[in-house]
Amino acid sequence: MAEPPLGARQVSPLIPGAASLEAITAETLASLVMLAPPGTVERRYGLALALRALVPGGTLTALAPKDRGGSRLKKELEAFGCDVRETVKSHHRICACERPEILIGIDAAVAEGAPRLLQSIGLWSQPGVFSWDRIDPGSALLAKSLPTFSGRGADLGSGVGYLARAVLTSPKVERLAMIDIDRRAVEAAAHNVLDPRADLSWADATGAAVPLSGLDFVVMNPPFHDGGSEDKALGQAFIKRAAGALRKGGVLWMVANRHLPYETTLTGLFATVEVRIEQGGYKVFEARR
């Protein structure tokens, strides 16, 4: 729907290894294409960073599905001082504009979407990361159900580090690999989990970028959305990765929404599978290799 410029650099926080839009020097880019995110604060933050990075006269193309922020894009860009051309294609709104000489409200939008320590939950976080300003009820249920672990483990999809902090309360845990695909979550987790036993990686936990084997335990609250739509395959890929990472007899503790069909995947890969708690629409599984 919108061609990225030839030779473009990737700057998405959801693509491991990508450059960071925050770090690009102001007024240096000739053009930028952005699939704008659904959250309002996160989207205005990204648009503000994009406009700041462009040279005056440089082109911004921003698009989003109509019902996931697309219908608000034009007004948001106009509020930053842009003169916007909007087109409609495949349920998306595509907005194009040139970066004006004078931008309005950029610093405020950047400040509003920036990382911060949230006193309410006692964690660093940022608009756009999973459950950014409250503890997810599924994660809270898993954290309070966890046994005292020992040895080497992993937290797949570790977010801002809430579960990892619960795991690391056990002095017998030797190492904990924390893997998340969202750079912003990993950066927040680096503030939240200062324990030297934690190893943080910005990576796809379902791929092999971070080698994991012979682990004693894995914890996870796997994602079940990809690009806004429900995707049970992603959770199933997390379960496969956990099974492959554990030693025989190693244990997976996982929480999932009750309606998600993970039992078949679990029983196919683990010697025993037990539902330890079922509460508030969630199930906590303990599965042993």
Ligand X SMILES: C[S@@+](CC[C@H](N)C(=O)[O-])C[C@H]1O[C@@H](n2cnc3c(N)ncnc32)[C@H](O)[C@@H]1O
86 contacts ligand X (rule: CB under 6 A): no
Token pair for 226:
């990809």
Piece in contact with ligand X (CB under 6 A), picked from 43-51, 82-90, 151-159, 167-175: 151-159
Find the binder of ligand X among 46, 127, 153, 223 (CB under 6 A).
Answer: 223
Neighbouring-strand partners of residue 277: 284
Residue 1: which H helix or E strand, with range? none
Piece in contact with ligand X (CB under 6 A), picked from 58-66, 74-82, 87-95, 173-181: 173-181
159 contacts ligand X (rule: CB under 6 A): yes
Size of the site for ligand X (CB under 6 A): 18
Residue 145: which H helix or E strand, with range? helix 137-145
Find the binder of ligand X among 42, 76, 180, 216 (CB under 6 A).
Answer: 180
For residue 129, give the DSSP letter. B
158 contacts ligand X (rule: CB under 6 A): yes
Piece in contact with ligand X (CB under 6 A), picked from 50-58, 98-106, 198-206, 280-288: 198-206
Calpha distance 65→81 (Å, rounded): 23
Q: Which of residues 128-147 bind ligand X (CB under 6 A)?
A: 130, 136, 139
217 contacts ligand X (rule: CB under 6 A): no
Sheet of strand 173-180: strand arrangement: 198-202, 173-180, 151-156, 215-220, 246-257, 282-288, 272-279
Calpha distance 128→8 (Å, rounded): 23
- Which of 4, 122, 139 has its CA nearest to residue 62? 4
The helix/strand/coil state of 276 is strand
Nearest CB to ligand X, comparing residues 80 and 130: 130
Piece in contact with ligand X (CB under 6 A), picked from 60-68, 110-118, 181-189, 269-277: 181-189
Question: CB burial class (10 A; 0-12, 13-18, 19+) of residue 272?
Answer: exposed
12 in the Ramachandran plot: left (φ > 0), alpha (ψ -120 to 50) or beta?
beta
Nearest CB to ligand X, comparing residues 162 and 217: 162
179 contacts ligand X (rule: CB under 6 A): yes
Find the binder of ligand X among 125, 126, 192, 221 (CB under 6 A).
Answer: 221
Residue numbers of the site for ligand X (CB under 6 A)?
Answer: 130, 136, 139, 157-159, 162-163, 179-182, 185, 204-206, 221, 223
